[in-house]
Amino acid sequence: MLTFDANPVLAEASEIATELRRVLRALAAEQASVAPQPVAPAVVVPAETGSTSATVRALRAERTALEERLTDVLRVQANREAIDQALTERAGTLRLAVAERKAELQARSRAAAADGIVSHAVSQGRGLTAGERTRVARLRSESSQSAGLTTAADITSAARRDGALAALGTLRLREAREQLRSGLLMTEQMRGIIAEAGPAIMRGDPVLLLGETGGAKTALAEHLSRTTLGREPELVSGYGDITAAQLIGSHELRAVEGATVSVFTPGPLLRAMAEGRPVILDEVNAMPAEFLKRLNRILQLRPGDVLGVQEDAGREVRIAPGFAIIATANEQTPHRYRGLDRLSAELVNRFGAHSYRVHYPDTGTAFEAFPVENGLLAAAAIVDRDGELPPEWSADALNRVARAAFISQQVFAGAVSGGFGEYVSTEREIDGRPGLEESVIAPRTLVAIVQKVSASAGAVSLDRALTRFVEGVMHREDRRVLALILEGQGFRLG
């Protein structure tokens, strides 16, 4: 894609090329949706509907019109020369971006190789040899070394540098899009937790993920289960009226050969133990107290150990390799997360050194700085496979909503210094309460808002989507604070 918007000819060619790609994709999707499907000979396939046929014809007409516009632009010799020169320059910037991207991936690969050496030793129940320790240290040292584009010898101008950085950003955005679609955006925080928690899970040690609502704790737990152990987890949600019997198992009456007998049916926890799969206890501090008392003992068990099932007359279950407990819990904050109990010190101690606090994106970023991770998250949620924003979105709108989400997250988490203090009322500050008590534009909320706008193809504006979100907040003071945050970023609510 051409990005030299200062030249009207290049800007027009770029706009045509971008729109032509959209039309071709729409046309391919429409034609695929009406492609004939194999059917039995006796079945009569209805003719193509008039509306679908009309859509295909309209898209073909758009394609032809765009191709003709591009041909008209290229008929002028000066235009062709300008476009050729721009394409040559872009090829140079793309080479720089690809080279830097390759270096990034190589550095990441070295770090992953180092983690792999450690994980392999852990899976065999042994320590690292001297040679392995040397290789791990070397790989991690090499992974941290990167010259960066700003020092590359091929950077001959500010324009080339900016173009290469923009292309590099697009490559990163395409990767982020795929990560988000698979369930988890791999920020530096997430990579760090995965690298440290992975060996523990392979040993069968329990892991606890703590954090505020919407911070991707569950997504992280699922990622750890599937990538570290390569197995689908049993997921148990702590909310609702779940009982210890539902988690461990219970007796059921069944008809067997004309007689009614009582049969013990294992719950998700016992199934995971027997099958060698991880179990995710989601929102463990919302689980019943009687189960948490049993959990104290269960957290001490490891693959190879035996559990006597009280509910099944003491029948013993040997824990298969691959079993591990990954628990998530929301922060213990007054006036928040009703229905949650404080985890006992005894229970938390069972996790030992494997408790990880999952912070919101950009935690530690200064108020005035741009929240890069929230920005990447918002963009990744809506870009196409080429890393391009939908036509109804501007980079400015995306930046502003990412910044609003970032501010709300930090205020919700209790930040009071710098500019964040502007959103904390005097009463809440005196009481030691955060500026937002119950509501926040959490990462998953940010994704839902921007996707709502994109899914409407522009029919729902970002202002309208944000208004709907604020209107749905039950806490009056939270509504006021959220409105201040959003209006401070230039959004018009109402």
- Output the pLDDT for position 170: 86
474 and 414 in a common domain: yes
Structural domain includes residue 269: yes
What does each C-alpha distance from 339 to 149, 342, 487 come to in angstroms?
51, 10, 33
For 352, the domain range is: 203-358
408 and 319 in a common domain: no
How far apart CA 215 and CA 409 sit, in angstroms, is 10
- Output the pLDDT for position 163: 73
434 and 287 in a common domain: no
341 and 216 in a common domain: yes
Q: Nearest to residue 356, comparing CAs of 140, 185, 237, 192?
A: 192
* Contacts of 392 by beta carbon, 8 Å cutoff, 6+ apart: 453, 454, 457, 458
Contact 245, 239 (CB under 8 A): no
How far apart CA 243 and CA 179 sit, in angstroms, is 35
99 and 74 in a common domain: yes
* pLDDT, tens digit (0-9, with 9 covering 90-100), for 321-366: 999 999 999 876 655 555 566 778 888 888 988 999 999 999 999 9
What does each C-alpha distance from 103 to 114, 188, 195, 243 come to in angstroms?
17, 17, 20, 51
- Output the pLDDT for position 264: 83
172 and 263 in a common domain: no
What does each C-alpha distance from 390 to 46, 63, 382, 441, 485 come to in angstroms?
34, 18, 7, 22, 25
* pLDDT, tens digit (0-9, with 9 covering 90-100), for 166-187: 777 888 899 999 999 999 999 9
- Output the pLDDT for position 49: 47
264 and 209 in a common domain: yes
- Output the pLDDT for position 208: 96
Q: Which two tokens stand for residue 241?
A: 């009226």
Q: Which of 306, 327, 358 marks a domain boundary? A: 358
270 and 139 in a common domain: no
- Output the pLDDT for position 340: 60
247 and 168 in a common domain: no
- Output the pLDDT for position 337: 53
Count of structural domains, the chain: 3
Positive/negative CA dihedral, 305, 309, 310, 313: negative
161 and 119 in a common domain: yes
Count CB-CB contacts under 10 A for residue 22.
16
Taking the chain (494 residues) in consecutive chunks of 10 residues, what is each chunk's mean pLDDT? 63 86 87 63 48 81 90 87 81 78 85 86 84 91 67 62 76 92 93 91 93 92 92 86 80 77 86 94 86 86 91 88 93 59 81 92 95 95 89 92 97 91 87 89 96 92 96 93 96 91
Structural domain includes residue 416: yes
440 and 398 in a common domain: yes
- Output the pLDDT for position 9: 83
390 and 454 in a common domain: yes
How far apart CA 478 and CA 439 sit, in angstroms, is 6
Q: Which of 358, 388, 422 marks a domain boundary? A: 358
- Per the confidence metrics, is the pTM higher than 0.85? no
